[in-house]
């Protein structure tokens, strides 16, 4: 069985407050994008896991695909399988590639081994893998709140537009980004500076995409662009090339632009990129 895990982009991202469990409450909209990995699962005499394509640091036991198999194995008497992952979605880009791989593994094992898990049950298992994993069970545009696990279907349709995603290769630590953004907000409060006026994402995305530029914000840009001005330059380049809207995805560092016509941006050949129709 072969499947193709998708990636996602964030349409806006607000960090609301720190929770008692150490996580942060967020507000965002996840939108699925067809920058894909490839995942094959075969029944086998013994369990094995293999990665090709992009290099993935860490031990195999840390990979979301292996974690998904081991998670289901705690409940079900799973037979051994062979999992082969062709990694194409870049890591540390804010595109959710690893989370998508894990969620897709759950779906594939459910179908291949006839576990008869419902969509909601699959989402519950996915949440045990990571906060944004449940989104990839259905891969529909969703308003995302809580620590990323509260999903609400939302009527936003970008079909007909083109997306260009550019990843410079700079990997951003999510923990670092949260820490820096929290420090920035605290310093503004101590200096009695007015916080930036941020409109609710749900109201902004109801307006035409051409109006998002001044109102739909990923707050992580405030700290990432300061530390890595070359990432900010990519966003500027996309606007210079005619993007209706451009933003960083997640905690970065991939930058995407939405276009009415196929984009013609001249991208550094060392950067990984994806261009496609939504």
- Mean pLDDT of the residues in the chain: 93
Confidence at residue 35, expressed as pLDDT on a 0 to 100 scale? 98
- Residue 219's pLDDT band, with cuts at 50, 70 and 90, is very high
Which CATH entry fits the domain spanning 162-277: 3.30.43.10, 3.30.450.80, 3.30.70.890, 3.40.50.720? 3.30.70.890
Q: With 60 as the cut, is the pLDDT of residue 193 above it?
A: no
Q: With 80 as the cut, is the pLDDT of residue 191 above it?
A: no
Express each pLDDT in 160-178 by its tens digit: 999 999 999 999 988 899 8
Indicate the fold that domain 2-153 takes in CATH: Ribosomal Protein S5; domain 2 (3.30.230)
Q: CA–CA separation, 73 vs 174, rounded Å?
A: 29
What are the extents of the domains in the chain? Answer: 2-153, 162-277
Give me the catalytic one of 8, 67, 107, 235: 8
8: annotated active-site residue = yes
Q: Which of 57, 75, 238, 244 is nearest to 160 (CA)?
A: 244
Express each pLDDT in 48-61 by its tens digit: 999 999 999 899 99
**Overall average pLDDT of the 200-224 stretch:** 94
Task: Tell me whether domains 2-153 and 162-277 share a fold.
Answer: no
132: annotated active-site residue = yes
Give me the catalytic one of 87, 101, 132, 185: 132
- Strands 150-153 and 162-167, bridge-based pairing: unpaired
Express each pLDDT in 121-148 by its tens digit: 999 999 999 999 999 999 999 999 998 8
């Amino acid at each position: 069985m072969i499947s193709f895990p998708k990636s996602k982009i964030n349409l806006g991202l607000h960090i609301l407050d720190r929770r008692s469990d150490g996580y942060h409450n967020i507000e965002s909209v996840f939108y699925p994008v067809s920058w894909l990995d490839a995942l094959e699962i075969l029944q086998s005499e013994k369990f094995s896991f293999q990665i090709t394509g992009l290099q993935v640091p860490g031990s195999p036991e840390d990979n979301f695909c292996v974690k998904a198999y081991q998670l289901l194995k705690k409940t079900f008497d799973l037979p051994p399988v062979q999992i082969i992952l062709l990694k194409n979605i870049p890591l540390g880009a804010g595109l959710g590639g690893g989370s998508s791989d894990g969620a897709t593994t759950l779906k594939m094992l459910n179908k291949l081994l006839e576990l008869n898990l419902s969509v909601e049950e699959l989402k519950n298992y996915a949440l045990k893998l990571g906060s944004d994993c449940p989104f990839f069970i259905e891969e529909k545009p969703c308003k995302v709140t809580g620590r990323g696990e509260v999903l609400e279907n939302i009527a936003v349709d970008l079909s007909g537009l083109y997306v260009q995603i550019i990843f410079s290769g700079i990997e951003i630590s999510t923990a670092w980004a949260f820490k820096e953004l929290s420090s920035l907000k605290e310093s503004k409060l101590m200096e009695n500076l007015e916080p930036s006026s941020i409109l609710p994402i749900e109201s902004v995305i109801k307006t035409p995409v051409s109006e998002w530029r001044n109102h739909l914000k990923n707050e992580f840009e405030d700290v990432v662009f300061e530390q890595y001005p070359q990432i900010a330059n990519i966003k500027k380049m996309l606007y210079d090339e005619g993007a209706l809207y451009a933003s960083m995805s997640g905690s970065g560092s991939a930058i995407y632009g939405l276009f009415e016509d196929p984009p013609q941006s001249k991208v550094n050949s060392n950067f990984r990129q994806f261009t496609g129709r939504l």
